[in-house]
Chain A
Amino acid sequence: QQPVQSPQAVILREGEDAVINCSSSKALYSVHWYRQKHGEAPVFLMILLKGGEQKGHEKISASFNEKKQQSSLYLTASQLSYSGTYFCGTVNSGGSNYKLTFGKGTLLTVNP
């Protein structure tokens, strides 16, 4: 079942922060985050495994709440290069460890 992402779109000024949420109705094994720019392939950002961990990559970090079946992606002090569509991909517990189901995406626009 497709995870639900919110918001669908967000517009920021350079330097502002944003949070993108991803929730599932099924128990999750892992959550993957990707960013896709127009006309290009998705780029892997990070993976979070069950255990409630939090990860960071420069000014982009994410958390995973296994009990709530939710993950959030945090973008701080946004840069113009952060613009794109962010997808979460989920792997269900008990399913194939490598089969991802993607959300509908969140379009992030960072303006100068």
Chain B
Amino acid sequence: GAVVSQHPSRVICKSGTSVKIECRSLDFQATTMFWYRQFPKKSLMLMATSNEGSKATYEQGVEKDKFLINHASLTLSTLTVTSAHPEDSSFYICSASGLAGGPSSLGEQFFGPGTRLTVL
């Protein structure tokens, strides 16, 4: 159990366009979803934490107007990279953490497969 999907897996876009990435928890309800960014051979850097039905909490240095996060339901969160530029190229990974008593009751995070964004 505890499967998280992410779509798309890869996206290539032109500079200035916006890209939306979806993260879904397939077999459990995720009260909290996290968005990370990972550069090659580097660690995962938390960008923001989103709770269902409320505004996302962004980490210091992350532009909330550039990285729009929506957590509309207990199974879906979206990250929109607005007006993307080459420096936004990266591997974006979401994770989900669930309700007490479920597969993620101790705060375990289950990760999606990631989205590789390339901005030309």
Q: Residues of A with Cβ closer than 8 Å to B?
A: 2, 30, 32, 34, 40-44, 47, 49, 87, 89, 91, 96-105
Partner of A41, one of B2, B93, B108: B93
A95 to chain B, nearest CB (A): 11
Contacting residues of chain B (1-42) with chain A, CB-CB under 8 angstroms: 2, 6, 32, 34, 42
Give Cα distance in the complex from A26 to B49, angstroms.
21
Given contacts A41-B93, A41-B114, A99-B49, contact A2 B43 (CB under 8 A): yes
Task: Enumerate chain B residues within 8 angstroms of A41, measured Cβ to Cβ.
Answer: 6, 93, 111-114
- Residue-wise, chain B 80-117 has the 8 Å CB interface mask toward A (1 for contact) of 00000000000001000100000000111111111000
Task: Enumerate chain A residues within 8 angstroms of B34, measured Cβ to Cβ.
Answer: 98-100
A87 and B44 form a contact (CB under 8 A): yes
Given contacts A47-B106, A49-B106, contact A100 B46 (CB under 8 A): yes
Task: Enumerate chain A residues within 8 angstroms of B110, measured Cβ to Cβ.
Answer: 44
A105 and B43 form a contact (CB under 8 A): yes
Nearest chain B residue, comparing its CB with the CB of A3: B43
A43 and B111 form a contact (CB under 8 A): yes
Task: Enumerate chain A residues within 8 angstroms of B42, measured Cβ to Cβ.
Answer: 104
Besides the known contacts A41-B6, A102-B44, A104-B43, 19 further A-B residue pairs in the complex with CB atoms under 8 A apart = A2-B43, A30-B106, A32-B108, A41-B112, A42-B44, A42-B111, A44-B108, A44-B110, A47-B106, A47-B108, A49-B106, A87-B44, A96-B49, A98-B34, A99-B46, A100-B46, A100-B109, A102-B43, A103-B43
Give Cα distance in the complex from A30 to B42, angstroms.
22
Contacting residues of chain B (44-96) with chain A, CB-CB under 8 angstroms: 44-46, 49, 93
Q: Most A CB atoms within 10 A — which of B2, B107, B109?
A: B107
Given contacts A40-B114, A41-B93, A41-B114, contact A101 B109 (CB under 8 A): no
Given contacts A41-B93, A98-B97, contact A32 B109 (CB under 8 A): yes
A97 and B107 form a contact (CB under 8 A): yes
Task: Enumerate chain B residues within 8 angstroms of A49, measured Cβ to Cβ.
Answer: 106
B88 to chain A, nearest CB (A): 19
Task: Enumerate chain B residues within 8 angstroms of A32, measured Cβ to Cβ.
Answer: 107-109
Nearest chain A residue, comparing its CB with the CB of B36: A102
